[in-house]
Structure 1
């Protein structure tokens, strides 16, 4: 397959600048966060008491930031009472969401969430997610950054991969940003590059339903793809949502515009079905497994089918630092670039930091 046009090479040359801007933005944002008073109180079922700032409940772990012990992760099943006068979003396993401060109930099997409409009593073990709802912009963000690099002297090959994820939360809304980049270079072979940027916004409703709006951008010279710009949306539901696992189904439609070296522009309308599964283990080391499958048949070009599969395994080896293994497989049954591969498959490992 011949080399990509000059415009693609120019875009790739700006890649280190993009990485630098992202790294500086990510590293700067936690430092810019103003701390609130750490007066939340968590009573454990063994009688111990922890005072600090509740950051969130996610994947069955209640994360608390304290003045003297730093970050403390507490298994939710070991929590007896929670007290905080600050504003939180509390989500149940059935998809219900409540907003307000968290106060202990006279029955230890429940927690009271007190909002503008007054207190609501919730079964404690049905709570699957607690998120801060602070007024400061930067405090609503969380995310992760991971970087991997390898060099083999025998065949003079280098591999670099970068991953960034960020989430911005408002009441009943969640916006996610994700960037994945893979660059492989080997002596006497053409450099292969794969860059993807995804922007998703979810609006949550009752009973685990949500709507989704998305914008994706992808470059993959192994598939002969200069740039694919995609916009669309759909309706989804969390089929399973517990403190240990999540299974999510999303269906909708897409409009895509693709640029290939031999064809400057191809537009198409597509259907989309996405199934994702996430499971967690919080016995040391903390582990997370994520699997995502998207099937995208073309409506304007019958017979063309795109499939995107990805999986991730994450181990936290130190507080906020983790090791990650990623695998992806992209398939295009009938892309306009006839000489390009139909499949692009890759595996990478990296070290990352969650913030």
Structure 2
């Protein structure tokens, strides 16, 4: 303690204080003088110039962020000059990059573009061979490339999708209410479209429930009992895809359906098969698949022999498109035959159109058409087809991975 007090007095003495001041004064400029990264620069053919951050280039279109105007998309043909201070990676056309792609196959460095050629400068100052902009299919920053190419999101990361809810309520001679909701989630790894997928997981739910009620009444001495009409349709499914090439994948799936209108209590499907990405661009994608599956059908108030244990398949086509002005359209068509009972087949078609409203909110309109060829007899007579038209407000879920 005595030694500490003496040291403290010495530091507070004039020579000690001066020495401490000099030492800290020498450190402060070093911290304050830490250089800030220079902004990227984009010069258009008409002479306009933007400073900010180069985000990416996909399929010939450059995305550049400016703090004032936000994200700007410009084709290579309208760019006179581009300079970045961050390290970028160029994926050339014809290169299907994957987890095992060596680093040497992907040129990296700070980027400059002029006269329709990209020049990358390595950290040691060496300029790599020029790359014609026509040969650069994707240009992304080095950090993003490493995260997507070598990393893997955990179970709670990388999900995109939507959640929709809608309702109709009527109070009159008959009271009516209908509620409908849907949720669709999808995660593809890597999470970006410019790398080949390794796996994909999807989960979907769509349901509606409603009632029409009318109180009992007496007229002309005749009493009409209370009336209740119910509607309930639910669908849920999940699928896991494992890619063994850029377009082909193996899959396992399960699906559950309840349709009160078709007298279907529960239909269960467990299957496996193969899928194929028939068409894919940044704006559109078409997938087709075929499975072999076990299917169990349980009907409401079923008589002996009406419930079914089936061996069959699902043949499906799924199409998604990003339309102008932020609209999105999706469609799925399924045909489900049964091989041990040719009459026990079914089919479904779903369509959905999302119209952006505000930020992550959109208005969704859609249809769900279901056909079941073997519903049991009932009163009133059971139709084989049910059709729904749904509207609702949708919250779009976007991954931040």
Partner residue in 1 for 2:257: 218
Pair 1:175-2:201 in alignment? yes
Relative to structure 1, the CA distance from residue 61 to residue 213 in structure 2 (aligned partners, 3 Å threshold; closer, same or farther) is farther
Q: Is the 8 A contact 1:224 1:341 kept in 2?
A: no
User: 2-side partners of 1:350 and 1:334: how far apart?
Assistant: 32
Equivalent residues in 2 for 1:43-192 (5 A)?
Answer: 47-51=49-53, 75=73, 77=75, 96-98=96-98, 104=111, 126=137, 133=148, 137=154, 138-154=156-172, 155-171=174-190, 172-187=198-213, 188-192=227-231
Q: Is the 8 A contact 1:63 1:73 kept in 2?
A: yes
**Residue deviations 1:7-36 (CA, integer Å, cap 9, x gap):** xxxxxxxxxxxxxxxxxxxxxxxxxxxxxx
Structure 1 unaligned runs (5+)? Answer: 1-38, 113-120
Q: Is the 8 A contact 2:83 2:112 kept in 1?
A: no
Deviation (angstroms), 1:192: 0.9
Equivalent residue of 2:295, what SS? strand
Q: Is the 8 A contact 2:204 2:238 kept in 1?
A: yes
Equivalent residue of 1:206, what SS? coil
Q: Is the 8 A contact 1:95 1:205 kept in 2?
A: no
User: 2-side partners of 1:328 and 1:181: how far apart?
Assistant: 10
User: 1-side partners of 2:341 and 2:349: how far apart?
Assistant: 22
User: 1-side partners of 2:318 and 2:265: how far apart?
Assistant: 27
Partner residue in 2 for 1:319: 359
Deviation (angstroms), 1:98: 3.6
Deviation (angstroms), 1:97: 4.7
**Residue deviations 1:253-312 (CA, integer Å, cap 9, x gap):** 221112222349521111221122222223x3x111112111111111013321111101
Deviation (angstroms), 1:346: 0.2
Q: Is the 8 A contact 2:344 2:374 kept in 1?
A: yes
Partner residue in 2 for 1:245: 284
User: 2-side partners of 1:82 and 1:151: how far apart?
Assistant: 58
Higher relative contact order (CA 8 A, sep 6+): 1
Pair 1:199-2:199 in alignment? no
Partner residue in 2 for 1:288: 328
User: 2-side partners of 1:128 and 1:343: how far apart?
Assistant: 50
User: 1-side partners of 2:92 and 2:238: how far apart?
Assistant: 23
Equivalent residue of 2:157, what SS? helix
Equivalent residue of 1:222, what SS? helix
Residue of 388, 393, 396 corresponding to 1:346: 388
Relative to structure 1, the CA distance from residue 242 to residue 157 in structure 2 (aligned partners, 3 Å threshold; closer, same or farther) is same
Relative to structure 1, the CA distance from residue 202 to residue 153 in structure 2 (aligned partners, 3 Å threshold; closer, same or farther) is same
Number of aligned residue pairs: give it.
303
Q: Is the 8 A contact 1:110 1:123 kept in 2?
A: no
Q: Is the 8 A contact 2:88 2:139 kept in 1?
A: no
TM, length-normalised to structure 2: 0.61
Q: Is the 8 A contact 1:109 1:124 kept in 2?
A: no
**Residue deviations 1:202-243 (CA, integer Å, cap 9, x gap):** 122434222221111111111111111111122222222112
Deviation (angstroms), 1:53: 8.1
TM, length-normalised to structure 1: 0.68
User: 2-side partners of 1:198 and 1:218: how far apart?
Assistant: 9
User: CA RMSD of the aligned region, Å?
Assistant: 4.5
